[in-house]
Structure 1
Amino acid sequence: MPVTKFNAAPLLAAAVAAVLAGYAASCSAQTLTVAWRNKPPHQYIENHVEKGILLDRAKQVFSEAQLPAKFVEEPAKRIWNNFKIGTRNYCSIGWYRIPERESLVQFSMIFHTDPPHTLLVGPAAVAPVLAHKTLASLMSDETLTLGVVDGVSYGPELDALISKSRNRIERSTTAPMVMANMISADRASYMFIDREDWEFLHDRDRSMQGTTQVDLKGMPQGLDRYIVCSKDVPAATMNKINRVLARLVPQKKTTSG
């Protein structure tokens, strides 16, 4: 009787392929940690309830993309340190795209577009601030103190202006809303504040009544914000996020030369 040789290679290859496919599927289904910093009205907690226009949008994005996600509040410095140390399956919402972040994270399509920043001025500094007609003139005044929230970016243009400013600089790792209270108490002359943040704060915090909102010539245009994810997050996951964003958020048209 002839002996039939059994070739196990195709079965072995199929088994390996099935295991790899299962592993890939399990990786893509892993729960993402989505960190957000306290920044009303974009994202905040009120009466133990998570709220905010961008937090709600982010939850909608991950839900419609069918991506399991756990949302956690964390300070800005901790969020970016987590990216620096290579925390896996990690995303965050509402960040500017600046060069030093490119090596740390993947950027989504546009998540939100800010209006231009405005200035929040303390009670004792209104007159000396209004003596300036342009932002460049204001930032050359050595008698004034600029309050800066440390660990975040105001966008490339404002970051550059701050780094070259002749104002005294008062840095703090507090949230922007806390910095606004420092301005109200004249612990610094003025600060840059998101216009949407100021509108929210002005209507809800009576301590802001002594402050003044000022606009000067030379303020940069508002910037786009993005969802960012750690480099290990699969391209397929980013594509799912982007497909939802393309439906929800107006995207800027690009031209090729």
Structure 2
Amino acid sequence: MAKLLRMAGRCWLADWRHAAGCASLLAATAQVCAAEPLNLYFFERPPYAVQRAGSDEVHGLSATPAAQAFKSAGIAFRWVGMPTMRQLVTLKNNGAPPACAVGWFKNPERELHFKFSKPIYRDKPTVALARADYTQASATLADTLRQPGLQVLIKDGFSYGPLIDQLLIQSKVERIVTSADSVPMIRMVAAQRAHFMFAAEEEAAYLVEQAGVPTTQLRTLRFTDLPHGERRHILCSKTVPDELIERLNKAITVEIP
């Protein structure tokens, strides 16, 4: 922000020919000033983001490196809990104050509406949590999704990464779309309302435990064509100045392959 302030100060000396550019710069500077501390949205999702009991602090696989980046960049922020779909709606509103959210995948559609930091974490390969009587899975997800009558439970508005998203689009699999969170979704699979759902390997066992579903009712599927997990980023509204994104990127020191 100091850089913006210095540039904005020089604008006062500019002649009328530069008035429009200076007005834009001053507006961006005002946005940054007004947005401090910046809202950093999260949804409680162990092990990615967990709020400490009796504290405003949030930690986890994606929350911790995000907080470290903001602190190292000298950008004041406050954690704000918010459901995932509401995060996207809120950040897509260009009339709202600049804000960010933690732990989101990047895809072409989202890049049209949001800004992204460098990756802050990379998932292990995605797995599928399937009902126990589903035994027809192939070695690859691509072949599995070609099976007639297959039903896959999908969370509304979620990206499962470019590869899985594309395979779902190319296949004719029946997608059962829900706004429910992961734990209720597991119960839906166990109740045979779909054949399987996707989950990050890091959280699969935790989710099953939280759902209270006997492990005999579910099985974990791993696919050979999903060798790498997706990268998670800090996602920001378009109203967040590029200068702040640059500062965040310089502060993210972890190298994500």
- C-alpha separation between the residues in 2 aligned to 1:145 and 1:206? 23
Which of residues 14, 28, 31 in structure 1 aligns to 2:32? 28
Aligned to 1:98: 107
CA drift of 1:235 comes to 2.5
Name the structure 1 match of 2:198: 192
* Pair 1:81-2:89 in alignment: yes
Contact 2:121 2:256 in 1 (8 A): no
Gaps of 5+ in 2: 1-8, 14-22
Deviations 1:90-137 (A, max 9, x none): 111111111111121221111111121111111232x233xx333222
Q: Is the 8 A contact 1:181 1:208 kept in 2?
A: no
Counterpart of 2:239 in structure 1 is 232
In structure 1, the residue corresponding to 2:133 is in which secondary structure? helix
The CA distance in 1 between the partners of 2:10 and 2:168, in whole Å, is: 59
The two structures, once aligned, show a CA RMSD in angstroms of: 2.9
Partner of 1:56: 64
| 1:181 matched to 2:187 | yes
Structure 1 gap segments, 5+ residues each:
1-12, 253-257
- CA 1:134/1:14 → structure 2, altered by over 3 Å: closer, same or farther? closer
Distance 2:106 2:198 in 1: 18
Q: Which residue of 2 aligns with 1:215?
A: 222
SS of the residue corresponding to residue 62 of structure 2 reads helix
Q: 1:152 to 1:22 in 2, by over 3 A?
A: closer
Distance 1:160-1:136 versus aligned 2 partners, 3 A rule: same
1:144/1:68 Cα in 2 relative to 1: closer, same or farther (>3 Å)? same
Calculate percent identity across the aligned residue pairs: 25
Conserved in 2, the CA contact under 8 Å of 1:96 and 1:224?
yes
Q: Give aligned pairs, total.
A: 235
TM-score normalised by length of structure 2: 0.79
> Which one-letter code corresponds to 2:237 in the other structure?
S
Equivalent residue number for residue 129 of structure 2:
120
Residues of 2 paired with 1:135 and 1:115: CA distance? 16
Of 72-81 and 37-46, more deviation after overlay is shown by 37-46
Partner of 1:134: 140
Structure 1 counterpart of 2:19? none
The alignment partner of 1:60 has SS state of helix
Are the structure 2 counterparts of residues 133 and 58 from structure 1 closer, same or farther at C-alpha, using a change threshold of 3 Å?
Answer: closer
Label 1:250 to 1:203 Cα distance change in 2 as closer, same or farther (>3 A): farther
Q: Which has the larger radius of gyration?
A: 1
SS at match of 1:57: helix
Summarize the Cα distance change of 1:181–1:227 in structure 2 as closer, same or farther, 3 Å threshold: same
